[in-house]
Protein backbone atom coordinates (compact mmCIF):
# COMPACT_ATOMS: atom_id res chain seq x y z
CA UNK A 1 0.00 0.00 0.00
CA UNK A 2 1.34 3.47 -0.83
CA UNK A 3 1.15 6.31 1.66
CA UNK A 4 -1.80 8.05 -0.03
CA UNK A 5 -3.93 4.90 0.21
CA UNK A 6 -2.83 4.47 3.82
CA UNK A 7 -4.28 7.84 4.80
CA UNK A 8 -7.40 7.18 2.70
CA UNK A 9 -7.92 3.82 4.37
CA UNK A 10 -7.26 4.99 7.93
CA UNK A 11 -9.28 8.04 8.93
CA UNK A 12 -7.78 10.55 11.33
CA UNK A 13 -7.94 9.70 15.04
CA UNK A 14 -10.75 11.26 17.06
CA UNK A 15 -8.73 14.06 18.69
CA UNK A 16 -6.76 14.91 15.55
CA UNK A 17 -8.42 18.24 14.66
CA UNK A 18 -7.98 20.01 18.02
CA UNK A 19 -4.46 18.63 18.35
CA UNK A 20 -3.30 19.81 14.96
CA UNK A 21 -4.98 23.19 15.51
CA UNK A 22 -2.90 23.55 18.68
CA UNK A 23 0.23 22.73 16.63
CA UNK A 24 -0.78 25.27 14.00
CA UNK A 25 -1.34 28.03 16.57
CA UNK A 26 2.00 27.21 18.17
CA UNK A 27 3.87 27.28 14.86
CA UNK A 28 2.17 30.57 13.84
CA UNK A 29 3.17 32.21 17.11
CA UNK A 30 6.84 31.50 16.33
CA UNK A 31 7.12 32.51 12.69
CA UNK A 32 10.66 32.89 11.31
CA UNK A 33 12.26 31.38 14.39
CA UNK A 34 14.24 28.18 14.39
CA UNK A 35 11.82 25.42 15.30
CA UNK A 36 12.33 21.68 15.65
CA UNK A 37 9.91 18.78 15.50
CA UNK A 38 11.33 16.03 17.70
CA UNK A 39 9.58 12.68 17.39
CA UNK A 40 10.21 10.29 20.24
CA UNK A 41 9.36 6.85 21.60
CA UNK A 42 7.76 3.83 19.96
CA UNK A 43 4.42 3.37 18.22
CA UNK A 44 1.94 0.70 19.28
CA UNK A 45 0.18 -1.59 16.84
CA UNK A 46 -3.11 -2.84 18.30
CA UNK A 47 -4.07 -6.41 17.50
CA UNK A 48 -7.72 -6.13 18.60
CA UNK A 49 -10.19 -3.31 17.82
CA UNK A 50 -11.18 -3.17 21.49
CA UNK A 51 -7.53 -3.13 22.33
CA UNK A 52 -6.32 -5.25 25.18
CA UNK A 53 -3.13 -6.30 23.41
CA UNK A 54 -0.75 -4.56 21.08
CA UNK A 55 2.68 -4.95 19.51
CA UNK A 56 5.21 -2.45 20.84
CA UNK A 57 8.96 -1.85 20.64
CA UNK A 58 11.92 -1.16 22.91
CA UNK A 59 12.15 2.63 22.59
CA UNK A 60 11.78 4.52 25.87
CA UNK A 61 12.24 8.01 24.42
CA UNK A 62 15.64 8.91 25.89
CA UNK A 63 16.98 10.14 22.56
CA UNK A 64 14.02 12.36 21.84
CA UNK A 65 13.42 13.75 25.34
CA UNK A 66 17.09 14.55 26.00
CA UNK A 67 17.49 16.07 22.52
CA UNK A 68 14.43 18.29 23.08
CA UNK A 69 16.12 19.78 26.17
CA UNK A 70 19.33 20.48 24.28
CA UNK A 71 17.41 22.03 21.37
CA UNK A 72 15.72 24.43 23.81
CA UNK A 73 19.14 25.29 25.22
CA UNK A 74 20.38 25.89 21.66
CA UNK A 75 17.60 28.46 21.12
CA UNK A 76 15.11 26.33 19.21
CA UNK A 77 11.36 26.31 19.64
CA UNK A 78 10.38 22.66 20.20
CA UNK A 79 7.41 20.54 19.18
CA UNK A 80 7.78 17.25 21.02
CA UNK A 81 5.70 14.53 19.34
CA UNK A 82 6.04 11.62 21.69
CA UNK A 83 4.62 8.30 22.69
CA UNK A 84 2.30 8.75 25.62
CA UNK A 85 3.98 7.58 28.86
CA UNK A 86 7.46 7.54 27.35
CA UNK A 87 10.17 9.89 28.63
CA UNK A 88 9.49 13.63 28.43
CA UNK A 89 11.95 16.51 28.58
CA UNK A 90 12.84 17.61 32.15
CA UNK A 91 10.40 15.19 33.79
CA UNK A 92 12.66 12.36 32.60
CA UNK A 93 15.21 13.23 35.31
CA UNK A 94 12.78 12.36 38.10
CA UNK A 95 10.63 9.65 36.67
CA UNK A 96 10.70 7.31 39.63
CA UNK A 97 12.42 9.44 42.20
CA UNK A 98 10.39 12.61 42.68
CA UNK A 99 8.76 11.58 45.95
CA UNK A 100 12.16 10.73 47.46
CA UNK A 101 13.34 14.28 46.75
CA UNK A 102 10.54 15.85 48.78
CA UNK A 103 9.92 16.03 52.50
CA UNK A 104 6.92 16.86 54.60
CA UNK A 105 7.68 19.82 56.88
CA UNK A 106 4.28 19.92 58.57
CA UNK A 107 0.74 19.22 57.44
CA UNK A 108 0.64 22.46 55.41
CA UNK A 109 4.06 22.40 53.78
CA UNK A 110 6.03 20.10 51.54
CA UNK A 111 9.53 21.08 50.44
CA UNK A 112 12.47 19.86 48.41
CA UNK A 113 15.12 18.20 50.56
CA UNK A 114 18.22 20.36 50.98
CA UNK A 115 20.41 17.65 49.54
CA UNK A 116 18.32 17.55 46.35
CA UNK A 117 18.05 21.28 45.72
CA UNK A 118 21.13 21.62 43.49
CA UNK A 119 19.88 18.81 41.24
CA UNK A 120 16.28 19.92 41.05
CA UNK A 121 16.70 23.67 40.75
CA UNK A 122 18.48 23.94 37.34
CA UNK A 123 16.10 21.45 35.73
CA UNK A 124 12.98 23.05 37.17
CA UNK A 125 14.24 26.50 36.16
CA UNK A 126 14.81 25.45 32.52
CA UNK A 127 11.41 23.75 32.46
CA UNK A 128 9.58 26.78 33.86
CA UNK A 129 11.44 29.20 31.54
CA UNK A 130 10.55 27.13 28.47
CA UNK A 131 6.93 26.77 29.54
CA UNK A 132 6.45 30.40 30.48
CA UNK A 133 7.91 31.59 27.19
CA UNK A 134 5.69 29.08 25.37
CA UNK A 135 8.79 27.57 23.72
CA UNK A 136 7.74 23.92 23.91
CA UNK A 137 4.59 22.11 22.84
CA UNK A 138 4.19 18.45 23.77
CA UNK A 139 1.93 16.29 21.61
CA UNK A 140 1.32 12.68 22.64
CA UNK A 141 0.47 9.70 20.44
CA UNK A 142 -0.01 6.04 21.23
CA UNK A 143 -0.76 4.07 18.08
CA UNK A 144 1.02 3.94 14.76
CA UNK A 145 -2.00 5.49 13.03
CA UNK A 146 -2.09 8.43 15.45
CA UNK A 147 1.63 8.96 14.85
CA UNK A 148 1.23 8.84 11.07
CA UNK A 149 -1.51 11.49 11.09
CA UNK A 150 0.24 13.80 13.52
CA UNK A 151 3.54 13.50 11.66
CA UNK A 152 1.92 14.47 8.39
CA UNK A 153 -0.04 17.33 9.94
CA UNK A 154 2.96 18.74 11.79
CA UNK A 155 5.33 18.44 8.80
CA UNK A 156 2.89 20.27 6.54
CA UNK A 157 2.79 23.14 9.04
CA UNK A 158 6.58 23.30 9.20
CA UNK A 159 7.59 23.62 5.57
CA UNK A 160 10.19 26.37 5.96
CA UNK A 161 13.97 26.51 6.08
CA UNK A 162 13.75 27.44 9.81
CA UNK A 163 12.28 24.04 10.58
CA UNK A 164 14.30 21.06 11.62
CA UNK A 165 12.62 17.67 11.51
CA UNK A 166 14.38 15.31 13.92
CA UNK A 167 12.66 11.99 13.46
CA UNK A 168 13.90 9.89 16.37
CA UNK A 169 10.72 7.93 17.10
CA UNK A 170 10.94 4.16 16.62
CA UNK A 171 8.12 3.67 14.16
CA UNK A 172 6.76 0.22 13.50
CA UNK A 173 7.30 -1.17 9.99
CA UNK A 174 4.33 -3.51 10.41
CA UNK A 175 0.72 -3.12 11.46
CA UNK A 176 -2.72 -4.67 11.25
CA UNK A 177 -5.36 -2.63 9.37
CA UNK A 178 -8.35 -2.05 11.69
CA UNK A 179 -10.72 -3.82 9.28
CA UNK A 180 -8.59 -6.98 9.54
CA UNK A 181 -8.48 -6.94 13.32
CA UNK A 182 -10.57 -9.04 15.62
CA UNK A 183 -13.26 -6.84 17.18
CA UNK A 184 -12.92 -8.35 20.62
CA UNK A 185 -10.16 -9.72 22.78
CA UNK A 186 -8.69 -12.96 21.49
CA UNK A 187 -9.83 -15.97 23.50
CA UNK A 188 -7.26 -18.63 24.36
CA UNK A 189 -9.95 -21.32 24.08
CA UNK A 190 -9.94 -20.61 20.29
CA UNK A 191 -6.29 -21.67 20.05
CA UNK A 192 -3.30 -19.52 19.04
CA UNK A 193 -4.45 -16.45 17.08
CA UNK A 194 -3.28 -16.12 13.49
CA UNK A 195 -2.16 -12.55 13.00
CA UNK A 196 -1.14 -11.20 9.59
CA UNK A 197 0.96 -8.04 9.77
CA UNK A 198 1.00 -5.69 6.78
CA UNK A 199 3.78 -3.33 5.77
CA UNK A 200 3.50 0.29 6.83
CA UNK A 201 4.19 2.52 3.81
CA UNK A 202 7.40 4.57 4.00
CA UNK A 203 6.41 8.21 4.40
CA UNK A 204 9.86 9.76 4.45
CA UNK A 205 9.69 10.47 0.74
CA UNK A 206 6.44 12.37 1.24
CA UNK A 207 8.06 14.29 4.11
CA UNK A 208 11.05 15.32 2.02
CA UNK A 209 9.30 15.90 -1.32
CA UNK A 210 5.74 16.97 -0.52
CA UNK A 211 5.01 17.85 3.09
CA UNK A 212 8.13 19.78 4.11
CA UNK A 213 10.58 20.02 1.19
CA UNK A 214 12.00 23.29 2.55
CA UNK A 215 12.87 21.97 6.00
CA UNK A 216 16.17 20.52 7.20
CA UNK A 217 15.32 16.84 7.65
CA UNK A 218 17.07 14.28 9.81
CA UNK A 219 16.00 10.66 9.98
CA UNK A 220 17.38 8.04 12.35
CA UNK A 221 18.42 4.60 11.27
CA UNK A 222 18.41 1.83 13.81
CA UNK A 223 20.16 -1.47 13.18
CA UNK A 224 21.37 -4.39 15.25
CA UNK A 225 24.12 -5.44 12.79
CA UNK A 226 27.05 -3.04 12.62
CA UNK A 227 28.03 -4.25 9.16
CA UNK A 228 24.99 -2.77 7.45
CA UNK A 229 24.41 0.45 9.39
CA UNK A 230 26.36 2.87 7.20
CA UNK A 231 25.30 1.28 3.94
CA UNK A 232 21.61 1.40 4.92
CA UNK A 233 21.95 5.01 6.06
CA UNK A 234 23.51 5.98 2.73
CA UNK A 235 20.76 4.18 0.87
CA UNK A 236 18.13 6.16 2.82
CA UNK A 237 19.86 9.45 1.93
CA UNK A 238 19.93 8.50 -1.72
CA UNK A 239 16.33 7.41 -1.75
CA UNK A 240 14.77 10.25 0.22
CA UNK A 241 17.28 13.01 -0.58
CA UNK A 242 17.13 14.59 2.85
CA UNK A 243 20.00 16.24 4.68
CA UNK A 244 21.16 13.82 7.36
CA UNK A 245 20.80 10.29 8.68
CA UNK A 246 21.83 9.54 12.24
CA UNK A 247 22.72 5.88 12.47
CA UNK A 248 22.82 3.92 15.70
CA UNK A 249 22.97 0.34 16.93
CA UNK A 250 20.49 -0.95 19.49
CA UNK A 251 23.04 -1.85 22.15
CA UNK A 252 25.43 1.09 21.79
CA UNK A 253 22.93 3.85 21.02
CA UNK A 254 23.65 5.78 24.20
CA UNK A 255 27.39 6.07 23.53
CA UNK A 256 27.88 6.03 19.77
CA UNK A 257 26.06 7.46 16.78
CA UNK A 258 27.14 8.09 13.22
CA UNK A 259 26.08 11.19 11.30
CA UNK A 260 25.91 10.51 7.58
CA UNK A 261 25.35 13.37 5.15
CA UNK A 262 24.70 13.69 1.42
CA UNK A 263 28.39 14.19 0.63
CA UNK A 264 29.02 10.68 2.03
CA UNK A 265 30.88 12.06 5.05
CA UNK A 266 30.46 9.86 8.11
CA UNK A 267 31.04 11.58 11.45
CA UNK A 268 31.40 9.44 14.54
CA UNK A 269 30.18 10.74 17.88
CA UNK A 270 31.51 8.57 20.67
CA UNK A 271 31.23 8.96 24.44
CA UNK A 272 34.05 7.56 26.56
CA UNK A 273 33.47 5.86 29.93
CA UNK A 274 34.81 9.04 31.49
CA UNK A 275 32.24 11.17 29.62
CA UNK A 276 29.45 8.93 30.85
CA UNK A 277 30.75 9.08 34.44
CA UNK A 278 30.79 12.87 34.14
CA UNK A 279 27.12 12.84 33.15
CA UNK A 280 27.68 13.89 29.53
CA UNK A 281 24.81 12.82 27.32
CA UNK A 282 25.35 11.95 23.67
CA UNK A 283 22.29 14.04 22.71
CA UNK A 284 24.18 17.17 23.84
CA UNK A 285 26.86 16.46 21.22
CA UNK A 286 24.34 15.41 18.56
CA UNK A 287 22.30 18.59 18.96
CA UNK A 288 25.38 20.91 18.81
CA UNK A 289 26.47 19.16 15.63
CA UNK A 290 23.01 19.31 14.08
CA UNK A 291 22.56 22.98 15.01
CA UNK A 292 25.84 23.85 13.25
CA UNK A 293 24.66 22.00 10.14
CA UNK A 294 21.26 23.72 10.21
CA UNK A 295 22.98 27.13 10.55
CA UNK A 296 25.05 26.45 7.43
CA UNK A 297 21.88 25.32 5.63
CA UNK A 298 20.11 28.53 6.65
CA UNK A 299 23.00 30.66 5.34
CA UNK A 300 22.94 28.89 2.01
CA UNK A 301 19.13 29.30 1.68
CA UNK A 302 18.87 33.07 2.10
Q: What is the largest CA-CA distance in the chain?
A: 65
10 binds ligand 9Z3 (CB under 6 A): no
Among 3, 26, 47, 63, binds ligand 9Z3 (CB under 6 A): 63
Residue 241-260 contact track with ligand 9Z3, rule CB under 6 A, x = bound = -------x----x-------
23 binds ligand 9Z3 (CB under 6 A): no
83 binds ligand 9Z3 (CB under 6 A): no
Within 106-165, the residues that bind ligand 9Z3 by CB under 6 A are none
Among 6, 35, 44, 62, binds ligand 9Z3 (CB under 6 A): 62
206 binds ligand 9Z3 (CB under 6 A): no
* Piece of 55-63, 109-117, 120-128, 267-275 that binds ligand 9Z3 (CB under 6 A): 55-63
Among 220, 259, 269, 291, binds ligand 9Z3 (CB under 6 A): 220
Indicate the residue among 26 and 211 with the shorter CB distance to ligand 9Z3: 211
For residue 133, the minimal CB distance to ligand 9Z3 (Å) is 26
Chain residues in the site for ligand 9Z3 (CB under 6 A): 59-63, 167-168, 170-171, 219-222, 248, 253
Amino acid sequence: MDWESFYDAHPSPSNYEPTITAVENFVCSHENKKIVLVTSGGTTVPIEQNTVRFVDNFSVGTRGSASAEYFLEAGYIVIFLYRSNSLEPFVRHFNNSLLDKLEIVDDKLIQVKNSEFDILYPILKKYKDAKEANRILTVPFTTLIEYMWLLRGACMLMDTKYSLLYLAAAVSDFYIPPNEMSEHKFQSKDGPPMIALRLVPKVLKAVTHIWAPNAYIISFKLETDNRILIQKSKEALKKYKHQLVIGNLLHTRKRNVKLISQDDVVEDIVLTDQDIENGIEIEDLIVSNVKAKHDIFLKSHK
